[in-house]
């Protein structure tokens, strides 16, 4: 089974549909399987106190102005939906509240995503699981009991899912990756496990690909110097092209683990062992 590669646009579009389209183009050209966004109902996700507090941004001087500036509404998502269909690439989004999940249903996306921050929001998990769409569940900032409960909810609902090992720091230091958690999750839950990475560079993602992940998610950006909290942990266009190409090579290189003389080695063995008495070959 090929690793399902998700190019996470998130909010790196900075509220601009044209930037979102450019990022969709990048993902398609690179060979990613899907792009992913984030959807929030601002007044449900954030308190009035926080929204009224000061924050300098391209959209104004308050947290509300910044967060509303980053949020796409119906018109923008209709445009994204049509654009992705025209390009032949899947799209979906992680909802941060139940109203946002219900909003996303109108587009009938093939996949759902539970962000690490939302894995403890049981009502949202139940809402998502009720749709019975394949769901990627990130496990950043969690202990076993929280993951246990999420898995229980999805299994009780009969909703297909896979976990995604994740460390929720932006960017993540390489030494914090703890990639051996991929096997830990696989052994404990007997399910497919992916990797959602926030590191700088590509090496850690290559390591994850060699550990048998079934999905790989990385944030993408046009330029890591752009405004936004996720930009520094994102991959630029050439990096994404390199990442997808390398992951596909790693998949081919992993093989089936069986020790045997390959057909291509037969003639080489005959040539390089020609001076050895035949009896010694046994």
Per-residue pLDDT reduced to its tens digit, 249-279: 999 999 999 999 999 999 999 999 999 997 6
Are residues 73 and 12 in contact, defined by beta-carbon separation less than 8 angstroms? no
Query: Given this model, what pLDDT does residue 280 score?
Result: 65
CA distance 17 to 3: 28
* Residue 98 or residue 280, greater confidence: 98
Q: What is the per-residue pLDDT for 274?
A: 93
- Tell the CATH topology of 4-281: TIM Barrel (3.20.20)
β-sheet bridge partners, residue 38: 94
Structure tokens at 119: 């894995």
Q: Which residues contact 54 (CB under 8 A, 6 or more apart)?
A: 61, 62, 63
Residue 171 has pLDDT above 90, yes or no: yes
Confidence of residue 1 (pLDDT cuts 50, 70, 90): confident
CB–CB of 160/132 below 8 Å?
yes
The predicted-structure confidence for 175-205, as pLDDT tens digits, reads as follows: 999 999 999 999 999 999 999 999 999 999 9
pLDDT of residue 199: 96
205-235 pLDDT, tens digit each: 999 999 999 999 999 999 999 999 999 999 9
b/e burial code for range 272-282 (CB count within 10 A of at least 16 → b) = eeeeeeeeeee
Q: Which two tokens stand for residue 209?
A: 């690909």
Identify whether the C-beta of residue 217 lies closer than 8 Å to the C-beta of residue 198.
no
pLDDT tens track for 97-128:
999 999 999 999 999 999 999 999 999 999 99
Q: Report whether pLDDT(281) > 90.
A: no
Cα 220 to chain center, whole Å? 10
pLDDT of the residue at 278 = 73
Give the residue extent of every domain in the chain. Answer: 4-281
Which ranges in the chain belong to alpha helices (H)?
17-30, 42-45, 48-52, 63-70, 74-87, 98-105, 122-129, 144-157, 181-189, 203-209, 237-254, 263-272
pLDDT tens-digit map of 48-86: 999 999 999 999 999 999 999 999 999 999 999 999 999
Cα separation, 183 vs 201, in Å, equals 22
**The two structure tokens encoding residue 130:** 């009720």
Task: Give the residues across from 62 on adjacent strands.
Answer: 54
pTM: predicted TM-score of the whole model, two decimal places: 0.96
In terms of DSSP bridges, do strands 34-39 and 4-10 run parallel, antiparallel, or are they unpaired?
parallel
Query: Is it the case that residue 239 has pLDDT exceeding 70?
Result: yes
């Amino acid at each position: 089974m090929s690793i399902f590669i998700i190019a996470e646009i998130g909010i790196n579009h900075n509220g601009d549909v044209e930037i979102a389209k450019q990022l969709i183009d990048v993902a398609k050209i690179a060979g990613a399987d899907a792009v992913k966004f984030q959807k929030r109902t601002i007044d449900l996700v954030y308190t009035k106190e926080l929204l009224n507090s000061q924050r300098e941004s391209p959209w104004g001087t308050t947290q509300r102005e910044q967060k509303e500036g980053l949020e796409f509404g119906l018109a923008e998502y209709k445009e994204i939906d049509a654009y992705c269909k025209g390009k032949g690439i899947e799209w979906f989004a992680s909802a941060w509240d139940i109203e946002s999940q219900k909003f996303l249903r109108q587009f009938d996306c093939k996949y759902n995503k539970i962000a690490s921050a939302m894995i403890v929001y049981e009502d949202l998990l139940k809402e998502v699981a009720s749709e019975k769409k394949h769901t990627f569940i990130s496990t950043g900032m969690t202990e076993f009991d929280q993951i246990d409960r999420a898995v229980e909810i999805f299994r009780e609902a009969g909703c297909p899912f896979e976990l995604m090992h994740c460390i929720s720091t932006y960017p993540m230091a390489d030494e914090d990756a703890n990639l051996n958690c991929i096997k830990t999750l696989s052994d404990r839950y007997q399910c497919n496990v992916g990797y959602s990475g926030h590191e700088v560079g590509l090496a850690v993602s290559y390591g994850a690909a060699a550990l048998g992940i079934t999905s790989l998610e990385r944030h993408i950006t046009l330029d890591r110097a752009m405004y936004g909290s996720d930009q520094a942990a994102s991959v630029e266009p050439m990096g994404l092209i390199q990442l997808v190409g390398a992951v596909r090579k790693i998949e081919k290189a992993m093989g089936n683990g069986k020790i045997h003389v390959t057909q291509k080695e037969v003639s080489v063995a005959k040539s390089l062992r020609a001076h050895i008495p035949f009896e010694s070959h046994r």
